[in-house]
Amino acid sequence: MAGLMSRPSPLDDPKKAAYAWARYRRLMRFMFAFTVLTVIVALGVIYSQVEDVSPHFFIATALGIGFSMLLMSALMGLVFLSSGTGHDESIHDPLADDEK
């Protein structure tokens, strides 16, 4: 079963891991600011276009847009972190032997 051993991940190196996580946090700060801007614009458009809307609608809209955008950016950020550091290539692919 020696063929099942995976290579060490580049994220095992503390310097590379610190750089990757700092880049991820920077991406998340940018996406948080972009999300806040998007929520403000969406609420402004709703306020200007629709009459007699409950405050609960604004709260639900803000939470829905905000949560969705932040969740999507967090997950995509993790995909970029994993792929960009070479972590994806360090795993053992059991299907790679079938192709040969």
pLDDT tens column, 10-54: 777 788 778 888 989 999 999 999 999 999 999 999 999 998 899
Looking at per-residue confidence, does 88 or 19 come out higher?
19
The pLDDT score that the predictor gives to residue 1 is 45
- Calpha distance 77→86 (Å, rounded): 14
| Res 94 pLDDT > 70 | no
Place of tokens 């972009």: 34
Neighbours of 68 (CB within 10 A): 11
Integer Cα distance of 100 and 33 in angstroms = 47
What is the distance between the alpha carbons of residues 100 and 85, in angstroms, rounded to a whole number?
Answer: 27
CA 19 to CA 85: how far, in whole Å?
A: 10
Higher per-residue confidence, 79 vs 44: 44
**C-beta neighbour count of 7 within 10 angstroms:** 11
